[in-house]
């Protein structure tokens, strides 16, 4: 007998993506470039985060025909984004048989209080987090993969670093607590106690953790890997740069050889201009995407 | 004495294989460049994205050294993407052709209990994730398990290829079987 959509099956695909780079693409042509450069998966969306930031307005799930076009163009997994709390967009993406749904703060939230109940879906979900409590709440809701949020569309790595250090620092702290203190920690983290206990026991989250938001260079990708990410998402960083093909290859190479500075140096040579970047500390608070989600 | 087993670490779930092999007493070395292959008693090609892995093997110049390793009789275990790497269209180390994503997209991924020839102690809990199957194979390839008539566990000499992920379920019998091949090859 076959058991589909078990937690092992849903979280298992993220295990296969480890050590890889997931790239934002807006059409089939970009998807092919990403695949040929060694991307482990692509994220299909209508506008990359830097354009969403520039254009303003409501950012929604992509047109299904555009997602289908990308599914037909490549054989690697295709992910797509739904708005936070917009469970019907998620139902649509499941009907399209995307391989992973990103319930994403990059799109405009549809529900100010509730995230999607992800247990009700066969397709696995990845969700963003800025700290351990947020990560565990998402896992409690059924997320099968976590990514640090960073500040998407800026090309500034500082927020991704903050979020990854925060998550890992809080995990390390949990491993030093006794049972009574773990119950208090669960309350403070606003997270399910059974997940808090599991993290304290294992010293890691029960799902794969990638980094996202602000990766623009091979060295940025390797930095996040050395800080404990198990792979990276690159949004605007590839296709908003001067030479997307070479930069995509270079980020893939630096992610594999993240512990080898000579290889990161070689990969970083002559890539042309990185994406036009914004310093995230200079953004107004209403422009910060990482604050979306609760 | 523990043998040294390499795990191809270009991309994929190589850490899970490493943990499993270490728990069974093997020394583990991550393989990213040809020099990492020197003196290995066995090699695992893990699950991951086969396109990413193919490009990585090309970039690192690993294809020929990997073929030589297999031709020298060193046991190799390929799981999922690893099975694809071993087929005629990729490294060409086994006389078979893999069908990629044969069961369908992620929503068709599944787990099931699977009886495998030569693995005693009841069925293996097998997790198939966007898994391939063996579409056709030569006479020298022995089919040890199949799903719906499609081979998912095959052996050709010291090369063992599997569609699913024993490393994800805490199932150690596949790796034990592989390490037995490694010991026998080293003793020969």
> What backbone phi and psi angles, to 5 degrees, belong to A79?
-105, 160
Per residue in B53-106, pLDDT (tens digit) is 999 999 999 999 999 999 999 999 999 999 999 999 999 999 999 999 999 999
B109 touches chain A (CB under 8 A): yes
Q: How does the average pLDDT of chain A come out, rounded?
A: 95
A126 touches chain B (CB under 8 A): no
DSSP A211: B
A187 has catalytic annotation: no
Across the interface, whether the CB atoms of B168 and A15 are under 8 A apart is answered: yes
Asked if A8 and A207 touch (Cβ cutoff 8 Å), the reply is no
**Which residues form the domain of B130?**
4-187
SS in 3 state form for B21-51?
HHHCCCEEEEECCHHHHCCCCEEEECCCCHH
Per residue in A110-139, pLDDT (tens digit) is 999 999 999 999 999 999 999 999 999 999
Catalytic residue among A81, A118, A149, A166: A81
Tell me the CA distances in angstroms from B18 to A131, B25, B45, B48, B50, one per residue in order: 29, 11, 11, 14, 19
Query: What pLDDT is recorded for position A293?
Result: 85
Across the interface, whether the CB atoms of B47 and A123 are under 8 A apart is answered: no
Structure tokens at B20: 């499993």
ipTM: 0.95
Per residue in A59-105, pLDDT (tens digit) is 999 999 999 999 999 999 999 999 999 999 999 999 999 999 999 99
Tokens 């052709």 sit at which residue? B97
Query: What pLDDT is recorded for position A286?
Result: 80
pTM (2 decimals)? 0.96
CA closest to A122 among chain B residues: B107
Which of A16, A39, A123 lies nearest to residue B12, judging by beta carbons?
A16
Which of A1, A39, A40 lies nearest to residue B112, judging by beta carbons?
A1
Rounded CA gap, B69 and B116, in Å? 26
DSSP A150: -
A262 touches chain B (CB under 8 A): no
Per residue in A223-281, pLDDT (tens digit) is 999 999 999 999 899 999 999 999 999 999 999 999 999 999 999 999 999 888 888 88
Rounded CA gap, A195 and A137, in Å? 9
Per residue in B147-167, pLDDT (tens digit) is 999 999 999 999 999 999 999
Number of domains in chain B: 1
Q: What is the CATH number of the domain that holds B90?
A: 3.40.50.880
Choosing among B18, B32, B107, which should be mutated to test the A contact, i.e. which has the most A CBs within 10 A? B107
Across the interface, whether the CB atoms of A123 and B49 are under 8 A apart is answered: no
Beta strands (DSSP E) in A41-186 are 41-44, 78-83, 100-104, 125-129, 145-148
Rounded CA gap, A37 and A42, in Å? 11
Structure tokens at A102: 């990103």
Asked if B132 and B84 touch (Cβ cutoff 8 Å), the reply is yes
């Amino acid at each position: 007998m076959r058991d589909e959509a078990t937690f092992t099956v849903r979280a298992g695909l993220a295990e296969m993506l480890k050590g890889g780079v997931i790239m934002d693409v807006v059409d089939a042509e970009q998807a092919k470039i990403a695949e040929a450069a060694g991307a482990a998966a692509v994220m299909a969306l209508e506008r990359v985060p830097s354009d969403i930031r520039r254009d303003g307005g409501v950012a929604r799930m992509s047109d299904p025909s555009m997602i289908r076009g990308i599914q037909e163009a490549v054989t690697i997994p295709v992910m797509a984004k739904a708005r936070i709390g917009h469970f019907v967009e998620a139902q649509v993406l499941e009907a399209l048989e995307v391989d992973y749904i990103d319930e994403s703060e990059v799109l405009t939230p549809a529900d100010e209080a509730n995230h999607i109940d992800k247990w009700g879906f066969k397709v696995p979900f990845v969700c963003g987090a800025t700290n351990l409590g947020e990560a565990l709440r998402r896992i409690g809701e059924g997320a099968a993969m976590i990514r640090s949020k960073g500040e998407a569309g800026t090309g500034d790595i500082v927020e991704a670093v903050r979020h990854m250090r925060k998550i890992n620092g809080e995990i390390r702290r949990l491993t030093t607590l006794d049972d009574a203190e773990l119950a208090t920690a669960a309350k403070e983290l606003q997270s399910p106690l059974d997940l808090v206990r599991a993290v304290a026991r294992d010293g890691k989250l029960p799902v794969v953790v990638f980094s996202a938001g602000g990766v623009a260079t091979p060295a940025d990708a390797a930095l996040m890997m050395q800080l404990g990410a198990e792979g990276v998402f690159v949004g605007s960083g590839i296709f908003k740069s001067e030479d997307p093909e070479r930069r995509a290859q270079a980020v893939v190479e630096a992610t594999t050889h993240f512990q080898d500075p000579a290889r990161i140096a070689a990969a970083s040579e002559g890539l042309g201009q990185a994406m036009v970047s914004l310093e995230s500390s200079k953004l107004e608070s209403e422009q910060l995407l990482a604050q979306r989600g609760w | 004495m523990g043998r040294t087993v390499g795990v191809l670490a270009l991309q994929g779930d190589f850490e899970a294989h490493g943990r499993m092999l270490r728990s069974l007493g093997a020394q583990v070395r991550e393989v990213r460049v040809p020099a990492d292959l020197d003196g290995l008693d066995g090699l695992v090609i893990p699950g991951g994205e086969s396109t990413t892995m193919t490009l990585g093997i090309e970039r690192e110049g690993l294809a020929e050294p990997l073929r030589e390793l297999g031709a020298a009789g060193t046991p190799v275990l390929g799981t999922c993407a690893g099975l694809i790497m071993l087929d005629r269209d990729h490294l060409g180390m086994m006389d078979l052709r893999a069908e990629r994503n044969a069961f369908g997209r992620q929503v068709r991924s599944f787990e099931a209990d699977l009886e495998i020839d030569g693995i005693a102690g009841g069925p293996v809990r097998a997790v198939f994730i966007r898994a391939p199957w063996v579409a056709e194979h030569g006479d020298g390839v022995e089919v040890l398990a199949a799903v719906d008539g499609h081979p998912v566990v095959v052996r050709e000499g010291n090369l063992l290829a599997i569609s699913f992920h024993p490393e994800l379920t805490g199932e150690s019998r596949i790796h034990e079987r592989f390490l037995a091949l490694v010991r026998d090859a080293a003793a020969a």
